[in-house]
Amino acid sequence: MIAKQDYFPLLRRRIKEIINFNSDYYEEKHLRRRVAIRMRALDMSSYREYLKLLERSPEERERLMRVLTVNVTEFFRNPETFVVIHREVLPELIRMKEENGSRVLRIWSAGCASGEEPYSLAMLVKENLGSRRDFRVRIMATDIDRDSLEKAKRGEYLEKELLGVAREYIRKYFERRGEVYRIKRELREMVTFERRDLISDRKYGAVDLILCRNVIIYFSRELKEKLFMDFYESLNPRGFLVLGKTENLSGEARKKFKIYNNVERIYRKEVGPPSPHTFPRRY
């Protein structure tokens, strides 16, 4: 018979097996808090009881997944970060491409939630390129939450969800349909949404800019350090990595990246050979 105190490790293992959520590298206290949200909602007091429900209820598995992958997001979240991306990072990347004779710009929004971040980036790319048509831009937007990705693909938002968007951008990049504002097709075509697990799925290659903000807060130190090096390998030489305001590089990555803007947690890959194409390219 399994002791009462051992049921959380069992629940943790079964979460990985039955809802395909890799819980191994998440801090235990974070997982306990998330599971507790569902247990309180169900007025349950034991992990054993909750595990039995999870085993037999597809609906509860979906609810738990939403809680585990809860995403707080908005357009141009932390606007100061986007100011630096708009005024410094993107112009620098465009200049580098021109010097190297390339016209392909690849951006990765890792943990894109319901699409606000990658669409914000798409707007800023358009602002920087203006009427130019010689650049091929691909923004890869990934998340583990299927519901969030479905909303992101539709590109439809209510007015209250556009509080961070300048009126000029709403006019230029959205179409109003009743109470809904939809991202215009020219921006939607720049973004590719895919379900991807940062922990276990293969990473992209030949990327110029990666944003991974407030996604890895609850990851173990070991996993964070591995992901930072994965990002390093994914980036082209002199590419940029943007983390969340409360996140810092650790481990070997501290030696590999150069601080570009410490306040906005923007780092740069200064040296190293071109990154391998670890993910099939569409260009």
Residue 37 placed within a domain: yes
- The reply to whether 190 and 234 lie within a common domain is yes
Angle CA 98–102–103, to nearest 5: 90
CA distances from 206 to 110, 184, 195 (A): 15, 27, 19
Query: Is the pLDDT assigned to residue 38 strictly greater than 70?
Result: yes
Residue 138 placed within a domain: yes
Residue 276 placed within a domain: no
pLDDT tier at 5, thresholds 50, 70, 90? low
Bridge partners of 142? 110, 194
- The reply to whether 99 and 131 lie within a common domain is yes
- The reply to whether 11 and 107 lie within a common domain is no
Which residue, of 46, 68, 90, is where some domain finishes? 68
> What angle do the packed helices 7-18 and 28-41 form, to 10 degrees?
80
- The reply to whether 242 and 163 lie within a common domain is yes
Query: Is the pLDDT assigned to residue 273 strictly greater than 70?
Result: no
Residue 237 placed within a domain: yes
CATH number of the domain bearing residue 170: 3.40.50.150
Which residue, of 13, 39, 68, is where some domain finishes? 68
Domain that holds residue 26: 4-68
pLDDT tier at 70, thresholds 50, 70, 90? low
- The reply to whether 48 and 175 lie within a common domain is no
Query: Is the pLDDT assigned to residue 66 strictly greater than 80?
Result: no
Longest dimension (CA), the chain: 69
Over the stretch 193-207, which tens digit does the pLDDT of each residue have? Answer: 999 988 888 889 999
Q: What is the pLDDT of residue 3?
A: 45
Which residue, of 40, 68, 96, is where some domain finishes? 68
pLDDT tier at 142, thresholds 50, 70, 90? very high
pLDDT tier at 26, thresholds 50, 70, 90? low
Residue 274 placed within a domain: no
Residue 240 placed within a domain: yes
- The reply to whether 84 and 57 lie within a common domain is no
Over the stretch 209-231, which tens digit does the pLDDT of each residue have? Answer: 999 998 887 677 888 999 999 99
Query: Is the pLDDT assigned to residue 268 strictly greater than 50?
Result: yes
User: How far apart, in whole angstroms, are the C-alpha atoms of residue 192 and residue 98?
Assistant: 24
- The reply to whether 121 and 253 lie within a common domain is yes
Residue 277 placed within a domain: no
Domain count, the chain: 2
Q: What is the pLDDT of residue 232?
A: 96
Amino acid at 5: Q
Angle CA 36–111–191, to nearest 5: 145
Give all strands (DSSP E) within 120-190, no chain letters.
Answer: 136-143, 156-158, 174-177, 180-183
